[in-house]
């Protein structure tokens, strides 16, 4: 990954312990003025020029969208609007990331096998039960704790309370159980089905003990926790009635995903960009609202164009540059290479 540090404002130091950024934006024929205020004027003019009729820009933008999106998007707008904007010198700014590919299957972690999609699900829009810390050890995230019985055949997670989906609905044990049951259902075609080889693969394999406690039944094995750092939890109240075989095509994934993570989906332009904004209601217990106000992921198929955009400061991050571009990048002022440890 190559970055241009000069364009950042309001980003935390690497060791700050706060979420600095995590969301791309995809643009369909819809903009969400309450989330992307800078786009509202342009959208209103565009729709007026197209003769789209009466109503606010937000109302007009929803026309032609799937019924699911028409219901959930206003709820997300209303929930986000209920919080005050964080204040402080470190808050604010937009990070623009560029790469060659779309975020395939969007934010639906039950059907996507794309690495870029998975990274945005885990670190931008959604949450996993556990995650890796700076030393690559497992630590709590959506789950505040976990425990095993003596035989190693039961794994119990206690969830953090106060974490909400971006429409204001609490995230509970029902969502965890729902995600697991859909993941083990062959009709879903979950791409990482081997995760559950030593779990009891049936509805009885998971118990909801109370609103914030969930228990899994399994055979003793080496890494029973590992799947839960890579499997984002999905909202049962929005997807529970969707047949498993229809999840891949459901508009939740790419048209109007509703997450519970540090960034709220704002916009998707197919084969162009994804945009996410800060989740102002992200609890302090899991990091608090990000310092970054907005995160944009741009789809730029040509690596030559990606490099040009980076060097002209239209990108902050260029993901996976071509090896033969290294000399030019290294010679550029204000640009640096960064690498990271990859653990699949």
CA distance 209 to 158: 10
pTM (predicted TM-score): 0.84
Same domain flag for 265 and 292: yes
Dihedral sign for Cα 184, 185, 186, 191, please. negative
168-179, pLDDT tens digit by residue?
999 999 999 999
Contact 198, 224 (CB under 8 A): yes
pLDDT at 182 over 60: yes
> How does residue 131 score in pLDDT terms, banded at 50, 70 and 90?
very high
Same domain flag for 118 and 13: yes
Q: Is 304 exposed, middle or buried (0-12, 13-18, 19+ CB in 10 A)?
A: exposed
Same domain flag for 227 and 266: no
Same domain flag for 310 and 254: yes
In this structure, the chain runs to a length of 344
Same domain flag for 303 and 324: yes
Domain boundary (239, 263, 278) is at 239
More confident: 86 or 56: 86
> How does residue 64 score in pLDDT terms, banded at 50, 70 and 90?
confident
In a domain, 77, yes or no: yes
Same domain flag for 158 and 219: yes
CA distance 125 to 194: 24
Domain boundary (239, 272, 294) is at 239
Structural domain including 331 reads 2-32+67-126+250-337
256-266, pLDDT tens digit by residue?
999 999 999 99
Same domain flag for 196 and 163: yes
């Amino acid at each position: 990954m190559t970055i241009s540090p000069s364009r950042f404002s309001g980003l935390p130091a690497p060791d700050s312990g706060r979420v600095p950024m995590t969301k791309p934006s995809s643009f369909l024929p819809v903009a969400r003025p309450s989330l992307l205020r800078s786009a509202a004027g342009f959208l209103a003019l565009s729709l007026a020029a197209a003769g789209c009729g009466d109503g606010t820009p937000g109302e007009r933008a929803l026309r032609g969208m799937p019924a699911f999106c028409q219901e959930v998007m206003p709820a997300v707008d209303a929930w986000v609007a209920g919080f005050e904007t964080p204040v402080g010198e470190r808050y604010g700014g937009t990070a623009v990331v560029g790469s060659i590919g779309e975020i395939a299957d969007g934010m639906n972690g039950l059907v996507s096998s794309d690495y870029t999609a998975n990274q945005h699900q885990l670190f931008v829009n959604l949450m996993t039960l556990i995650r890796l810390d700076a030393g690559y050890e497992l630590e709590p995230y959506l789950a505040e704790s976990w425990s095993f019985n003596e035989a190693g055949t039961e794994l119990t997670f206690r969830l953090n309370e106060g974490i909400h989906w971006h429409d204001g609905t609490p995230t509970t044990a029902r969502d965890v159980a729902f995600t697991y049951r859909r993941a083990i259902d062959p009709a879903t075609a979950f791409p990482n089905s081997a995760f559950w080889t030593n779990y009891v693969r049936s509805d009885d394999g998971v118990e909801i003990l109370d609103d914030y406690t969930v228990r899994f039944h399994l055979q003793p094995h080496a890494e029973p926790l590992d799947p839960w750092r890579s499997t984002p939890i999905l909202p049962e109240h929005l997807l529970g009635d969707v047949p498993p075989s229809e999840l891949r095509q459901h508009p939740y994934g790419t048209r109007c995903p509703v997450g519970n993570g540090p960034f709220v989906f704002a916009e998707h332009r197919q084969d162009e960009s994804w945009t996410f904004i800060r989740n102002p209601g992200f609890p302090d217990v899991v990091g608090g609202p990000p310092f970054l106000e907005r995160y944009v992921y741009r789809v730029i198929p040509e690596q030559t164009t990606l490099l040009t955009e980076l060097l002209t400061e239209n990108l902050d991050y260029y993901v996976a540059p071509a090896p033969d571009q290294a000399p030019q990048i290294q010679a550029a002022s204000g640009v640096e290479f960064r690498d990271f440890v990859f653990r699949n």
